[in-house]
Amino acid sequence: MPAARHDPSTDVLLVRHGEVVPAHPDHPHPRLEDGQGDPPLSPLGRTQAEAVGRRLRDVGVDAVYVSTLRRTVETAQPLLDATGLLPRVEPDLRELHLGEWEDGLIVQRLAQGDTVAVRVVAEQRWDLIPGAEPAASLAARVRAALQGIATAHPGQRVAVFTHGGVIAQALALATGAPPFPFLSGRNASLSQVVLVGERWSVRRFNDTAHLADDLSRVGVPLT
C-alpha cells in the first residue's frame, strides 16, 4: 500500500491519453449517443500507455480516475495492471464536446486556414464551433470533478487519465491564465496540480520524460 502523506493536500497527476487511431472520411471514429467521438488508442498510443504505466507504478498512486471515453481507460490500463487498482469513472472528466467538429476536424481546419477555426484560436471561444460545448460549462464541470476528487482523497496522490481540453482547463483554473496556451500538452504527457481546499497550484505541465521520442513530435489541440 502507498505510504500515507501527512498533509491535507491532494496531489493530482493529470495524464493525457495516448495517441488515438486517426479518423478517416470513410472510417469515422465510433460515436457515443451524444455524438462525441470515442476512438481507441493507436499502436503508438498503446506504447505511450505502457510508458506512463512504468513511470507511475512506483510513485505511490492511491487511486486512478478515468473519463467515460475509452482512450483514457486504455491509457490507464498498464498502471492498473501494475498496481491492482480499479479505475473510478468520472463523467465530468470527458473531453470537450466539439459538436460538428469532432473526429479531429478542428486540427484539419486550422491546417487549412479555415476562418472560423482561426477565430476559435484567436478569440479563445469554443462556442464559435457549431454544437460545441460552451467554455463556461467545461470550466464548471472540470472544477467540480477535481474538487470532488480532492474531497474524496485528502492527503493522497491520484492519477487522473483524461483529455487535452480538460487538462488545459484545469491548469487555467489553477493559474488564472486562459486555457488555450495549455492545449500544447502532448499525448501521454503528465501534468500535476495540488489541491488544498479550494486552493490549486501547478507543479508541472507537459512532462514527457517517460516518452522515448520526446523531441520528435509536438502536441496538437484535442483528439
Active site residue 95: yes
- 207 forms beta bridges with 190
CA distance 73 to 150: 20
Beta carbons within 8 Å of 44's beta carbon, 6+ residues apart: 18, 19
> Which grid coordinates belong to 83?
498496481
HSE on the CB side for 79, CA within 13 Å? 32
Catalytic position from the list 19, 95, 102, 133: 95
Catalytic position from the list 17, 29, 153, 163: 17
Cβ–Cβ < 8 Å for 127, 134: yes
Exposure b/e, 143-158, CB count within 10 A at least 16 = b = bebbbebbeebeebbb
Beta carbons within 8 Å of 38's beta carbon, 6+ residues apart: 29, 30, 31, 32, 69, 70, 71
Residues in the chain: 223
Active site residues: 17, 95
